[in-house]
Amino acid sequence: MATSPLDSDAPVLLEPQTLQAARNLYEVYRSRSTRRRNPQGVVVNTSTCQAALTFVARPILLPKECFVPFQMIESESTAEERGRPA
């Protein structure tokens, strides 16, 4: 049985467009949401770059979707705010 990236501590490599779509949606949510419910991450369709917030830790994905965990989005955003690449 294969393990998913969510089951291991190995780093997950994402296409830059996928990570950017996840980061963009998260930033919009953070700036406009009056609810303070923290998402677990973002699900991104790798073909269309459509993104959706998810509030469950292990979302069920369709074949062309990938899950970008909140921690990955935050670490990327924090590194950019400091002026250095992540």
Does the residue 77 lie in any domain? yes
- Global pTM reads 0.73
Q: Calculate the average pLDDT of the chain.
A: 81
Closest among 68, 63, 83 to 15, alpha carbons compared? 68
* Secondary structure letter of residue 44 according to DSSP: E
Q: What is the number of domains present in the chain?
A: 1
Task: Provide the β-strand partners of residue 44.
Answer: 51, 66
Q: What is the pLDDT of residues 35-59, one digit of tens each?
A: 778 899 999 999 999 999 999 989 9
The helix-helix angle for 70-81 and 16-32 (nearest 10°) equals 90
C-alpha span between 81 and 86 (Å, rounded) = 10
Containing domain of residue 22, as a range?
16-29+38-81
Q: What is the pLDDT of residues 9-28, one digit of tens each?
A: 556 678 899 999 999 999 99
